[in-house]
A and B are shown apart, each in its own frame.
Chain A
Amino acid sequence: MKPDDLPLALRYRRHNRGRLAVLGGLALLLAASFLFDLSSGPAGLSLGSVLHGLWQPASLDAAQRVIVFDVRLPYALMALVVGAALGLGGAQMQTVLNNPLASPFTLGLAAAATLGASLAIVFQHLQPLPANLLVPLAAFACALGVTGLILLLSRWHGGGGATLVLFGIALLFALEALVWLLQFLAEANALEQIVFWSMGSLARASLQHVGLIGVALALCFTLAMRRAWALTLLRGGETHAASLGVNVARLRAITLVEVSLMTAAALAFVGTIGFVGLVGPHIARLLVGEQHRFLLPASLLCGALMLSLASIASKTIVPGLIIPIGIVTALVGVPVFIALILSRKGGV
């Protein structure tokens, strides 16, 4: 029997097996990248020692235990969960806003988080909370506040995805201006902290932070997968989706709130990490297509893989020095993305 003679459902399932294989391949690459990330660093601990130490902590001396459990493991896990959150969030944003440039940056989420963190750094001395709690709290609150403001403005105006993006871009510039103003007014020490925060870094990672972001990610992924068909339909156009019973305005609002919660939680602990939320979903789309049952997990895996690879690069590009990961994602990611676009003549 020729392939074309098979029932359509069977041919489609075969097609989907290829997509599942891609997801499996991405997961394997991610596992390999995670292990390599664990084994890389200036302390010179081999992968074998790290794995053995994770299994039997007693085999490590005190200094090695600190390196493995307080530095490398949270660092590598943080790269996975933050990258996954940005990839998953970016894919959903691009769909509900019908905009290939949408990402947590487009709506000003990252800029809002930076403003919140900057306010906390500059005015830290006026309140009793410790900086390691206040800064992420302020970043999270500001990012959520901006999402709420954009949704309110859009609801009041009655516009669709394009209006949301316009509001987001307008707020992005305003938020950036406010951050610059704070930088201008800040003392040297605070200025240094703001600049370092805005570069994005995994150095602030801890297992508690990983757990918090992991819970938000798992929840958001589960809810997103339940909406996978509605999101897929939206790729055919708003009117088509609405005519099929999809409440487009509700789907957009719920998705944006969930994505904002998840990405705000991620950005609050690591600072500004660009590019992953924009490019991860595009790479996933090139690999598995638009069907969101595959696109969402692929975007999650691509985002996690990108940030895990960036984490390795940040530790190995300059031996003995850890470059802030936000710099690495853009420097390494942009050429990779351009190469991917050029390899597909039809465009992204």
Chain B
Amino acid sequence: MSLQLDNLSVRRGGQTVLDGLSLPPLPAGSLTALIGPNGAGKSTLIHALAGLVPFQGEASLQGVSLRQLPPAERARRVGLLPQALPQGSGLSVYEFLLGGLRAAGASAREAEQASEAMLAELGLLPLALKRMDTLSGGQRQMVALAQALARRPGLLLLDEPNSALDLHWQLTMLDAVQRVVAERQAVALLALHDLNLALRSCARVIVLAGGRCRADGPPQQVLSPSLLAEVYGVLGRIEHSSRGEALFVLERLPS
């Protein structure tokens, strides 16, 4: 399984948000972070691949063009975890998952089996019959992740999945995503703001700025102080722990 982007462009409101983006194939089994300042085009790229925003150019998953897939088929192959938490409606967690599967064409039995298996895999079975509006933000985001994964998509897209979560839930979520993506050999693309999470969890980082790719590669090679100063306009340094883990330390804004 791999994802390939070729000359992908998105125009909205008369402005070019993504400008001819081409990337080497994104590999399966590990996480790829999409980082960049606000307005760089991260969420637009995620939404375009999920079919929520029209685009020009080509995006293909294992050789199959995403542009040509009908919505229901694309929803089966591509799982999206949107930035916004799912609304705290009166639906139960189990119904929320069942709904996603039934809308994608699964039979009642298939939907029941897949939902229960996914909730068990993410340790969410105790929440299964609770109403969504009684869950914490972290729990709701985990449920949304379960829904995105329940259809066993080949491509998993996460749009700033940690923006509403505390540290505990951020790590819980990313660890769960890492585990499932490795087990299923899926392609995973995450829009992230937290550089340390990108350094900690992702095998590859794509840096976007102004709708174009500014850098692409392993995070410890790509995330240099000079690039961060250029892209984000901040001064900082990368330090390494005794175990060799990289950490971005923010120093100050340029004077």
CB <8 Å contact, B148 and A236:
no
Task: Looking at the assembled complex, report how far the CB atom of B121 sits from the nearest CB atom of chain A, in whole angstroms.
Answer: 13
CB <8 Å contact, B87 and A12:
no
Known: A12-B129, A244-B103. A232 touches B52 (CB 8 A): no
Task: Looking at the assembled complex, report how far the CB atom of B93 sits from the nearest CB atom of chain A, in whole angstroms.
Answer: 10
Q: How far is the CA of A331 from the CA of B112 in the complex (A)?
A: 45
CB <8 Å contact, B75 and A8:
no
| A240 CB contact (under 8 Å) in B82, B102, B112, B125 | B82
Which of the segments A30-38, A141-149, A283-291 contacts the partner chain? A283-291
| Any B CB within 8 A of the CB of A335 | no
CB <8 Å contact, B91 and A243:
no
Chain B residues with CB below 8 A from A346, complex form: 133
| Any B CB within 8 A of the CB of A191 | no
Task: Looking at the assembled complex, report how far the CB atom of B153 sits from the nearest CB atom of chain A, in whole angstroms.
Answer: 10
Q: How far is the CA of A245 from the CA of B147 in the complex (A)?
A: 13
CB <8 Å contact, B103 and A8:
no
CB <8 Å contact, B82 and A239:
yes
CB <8 Å contact, A230 and B103:
yes
Q: How far is the CA of A245 from the CA of B78 in the complex (A)?
A: 10
| Any B CB within 8 A of the CB of A233 | yes
| Any A CB within 8 A of the CB of B55 | no
Q: How far is the CA of A307 from the CA of B234 in the complex (A)?
A: 65
**Chain B residue with minimal CB distance to A237?**
B87
Task: Looking at the assembled complex, report how far the CB atom of A60 sits from the nearest CB atom of chain B, in whole angstroms.
Answer: 48
| Any B CB within 8 A of the CB of A235 | yes
Q: How far is the CA of A346 from the CA of B131 in the complex (A)?
A: 12
Q: How would residues 101 to 132 of chain B score, 1 for a CB under 8 Å from any chain A CB and 0 otherwise?
A: 01110000000110110010000010011011
CB <8 Å contact, A8 and B99:
no
Known: A8-B116, A242-B52, A243-B52. A236 touches B104 (CB 8 A): no
Majority-rule SS of B interface residues: helix
Q: How would residues 73 to 92 of chain B score, 1 for a CB under 8 Å from any chain A CB and 0 otherwise?
A: 11110011010101101111
Chain A residues with CB below 8 A from B104, complex form: 244-245
| B84 CB contact (under 8 Å) in A237, A244, A289 | A237
Q: Which of A12, A235, A241, A245 has the most CB of B within 10 A?
A: A245
| Any A CB within 8 A of the CB of B10 | no
Q: How far is the CA of A230 from the CA of B92 in the complex (A)?
A: 15
From 18 to 60 in chain B, residues with beta carbon under 8 angstroms from any chain A beta carbon are 50-52
Chain B residues with CB below 8 A from A243, complex form: 50-52, 75, 79-80, 82, 148
Report the count of interface residues on B (CB-CB < 8 A).
42
Chain A residues with CB below 8 A from B216, complex form: none
Q: How far is the CA of A9 from the CA of B113 in the complex (A)?
A: 8
CB <8 Å contact, B75 and A291:
no
**Chain A residue with minimal CB distance to B105?**
A245
CB <8 Å contact, B86 and A247:
no
| Any A CB within 8 A of the CB of B248 | no
Q: How far is the CA of A240 from the CA of B75 in the complex (A)?
A: 11
Task: Looking at the assembled complex, report how far the CB atom of A344 sits from the nearest CB atom of chain B, in whole angstroms.
Answer: 11
Task: Looking at the assembled complex, report how far the CB atom of A285 sits from the nearest CB atom of chain B, in whole angstroms.
Answer: 6
Q: How would residues 205 to 242 of chain A score, 1 for a CB under 8 Å from any chain B CB and 0 otherwise?
A: 00000000000000000000000011011011101111
CB <8 Å contact, B119 and A240:
no
CB <8 Å contact, B72 and A245:
yes
Q: Which of A7, A233, A240, A291 has the most CB of B within 10 A?
A: A240
CB <8 Å contact, B103 and A245:
yes
Q: How would residues 183 to 223 of chain B score, 1 for a CB under 8 Å from any chain A CB and 0 otherwise?
A: 00000000000000000000000000000000000000000
| Any B CB within 8 A of the CB of A11 | yes
| Any B CB within 8 A of the CB of A246 | yes
Q: How far is the CA of A185 from the CA of B241 in the complex (A)?
A: 84
Known: A233-B99, A245-B103. A240 touches B86 (CB 8 A): yes
CB <8 Å contact, B103 and A233:
yes
CB <8 Å contact, A229 and B91:
no
CB <8 Å contact, B119 and A8:
yes
| Any B CB within 8 A of the CB of A157 | no
Q: How would residues 13 to 26 of chain A score, 1 for a CB under 8 Å from any chain B CB and 0 otherwise?
A: 00100000000000
Q: How far is the CA of A315 from the CA of B133 in the complex (A)?
A: 42
CB <8 Å contact, B112 and A8:
yes
Q: How far is the CA of A246 from the CA of B79 in the complex (A)?
A: 13
Since A236-B91, A245-B73, A289-B92 are in contact, a sample of 7 more A-B pairs with Cβ atoms closer than 8 Å, ordered by chain A residue number, is A8-B115, A233-B99, A235-B89, A240-B144, A241-B103, A243-B82, A245-B103
Contact sample, A vs B, 18 pairs, CB 8 Å cutoff: A8-B115, A11-B129, A232-B91, A233-B103, A235-B87, A236-B96, A237-B87, A239-B80, A240-B87, A242-B52, A243-B148, A244-B75, A244-B99, A244-B100, A244-B147, A245-B75, A290-B89, A291-B92
* Interfacial residues, chain A to chain B (CB-CB below 8 A): 7-9, 11-12, 15, 229-230, 232-233, 235-237, 239-247, 285, 289-291, 346
**In the complex, the 8 A-B pairs of residues with the closest C-beta atoms, listed nearest first:** A245-B75, A243-B80, A235-B89, A290-B90, A9-B112, A239-B82, A236-B86, A245-B72
* Interfacial residues, chain B to chain A (CB-CB below 8 A): 50-52, 71-76, 79-80, 82, 84, 86-87, 89-92, 94-96, 98-100, 102-104, 112-113, 115-116, 119, 125, 128-129, 131-133, 144, 147-148
